[in-house]
Amino acid sequence: MVRYLPVFIALALMVYCIVDVAQTPGDEVRRAPRWLWLTAIVIVPVVGPICWLVLGRPSARGGGGSPNRPPRYPDDDPDFLRRL
């Protein structure tokens, strides 16, 4: 059973990355189009998912969010906090 563990891990990583690419908006994918990332993940089983996680995945949004998107909560809105 232990000798099959790397295969299960590679398969789980591949499935996770395929779902992640499919759920990522097309304009947020970095370095290559989404279809190319899906192809790389499927054809190159271990290296493709790792490259997606390191190079293609959108960067994490920290605290402030996107300037085009309104704040989700009132305490994230600077105008709301000024009015308090």
Per-residue model confidence as pLDDT tens digits over 17-45: 999 999 998 888 999 999 999 999 999 99
78 occurs within a structural domain: no
Write out pLDDT tens, residues 1-14. Answer: 899 999 999 999 99
pLDDT at 61: 57
Residue 9 lies in a domain: yes
The pair of structure tokens assigned to 59 is 């960067």
Q: Is residue 77 part of a domain?
A: no
The pTM for the full model equals: 0.69
- Give whole-number Cα distances, 30 to 8, 45, 69, in Å: 27, 20, 20
Determine the angle formed by the axes of helices 5-23 and 34-43, rounding to 10 degrees: 170
- Residue 63 confidence (pLDDT): 45
Q: What is the pLDDT of residue 83?
A: 81
Domain that holds residue 3: 1-58
